[in-house]
Amino acid sequence: EVQLVESGGGLVQPGGSLRLSCAASGFTFSNYPMNWVRQAPGKGLEWVSAISAISGSGESTYYADSVKGRFTISRDNSKNTLYLQMNSLRAEDTAVYYCAKEGSTWYYDYWGQGTLVTVSS
């Protein structure tokens, strides 16, 4: 059974940092691209970042314009864990952050339960 379990959310002041983790199990983690998707309170879904599966040329990373230069996605395939380092946080980053596994193409076939990040003074 595929499981994705996020952690690391919490309350942080504007300008602060947090690192989110997503522990994966039930599939060969290194073989699949992984994503972070967020949802602001009462709002819709917004893609945040993606990281490719491991390949001969290394890993590729992608970011939404709204987080580029502030957030860094990474993965540790030895620990089956996905990360999102979030720096220079803003009030508009307040959201539930979900990690999501990609399916055979680029849709998301499994999602974690989410972790809430609140940016407020």
For other proteins, how many residues bind (rule: CB under 8 A)? 23
Nearer to other proteins, 104 or 121 (CB): 104
- CA 36 from centre of chain: 3
Q: Interface with other proteins includes 7 (CB under 8 A)?
A: no
Q: Restricting to residues 57-96, name those near other proteins by CB under 8 A.
A: 62-65
How far from 99 is each of 14, 29, 120, CA to CA, in Å?
23, 13, 23
- Quick one: which of 111, 94, 93, 92 has its CA closest to 102? 111
Stretch that binds other proteins, among 10-18, 20-28, 76-84, 97-105 (CB under 8 A): 97-105
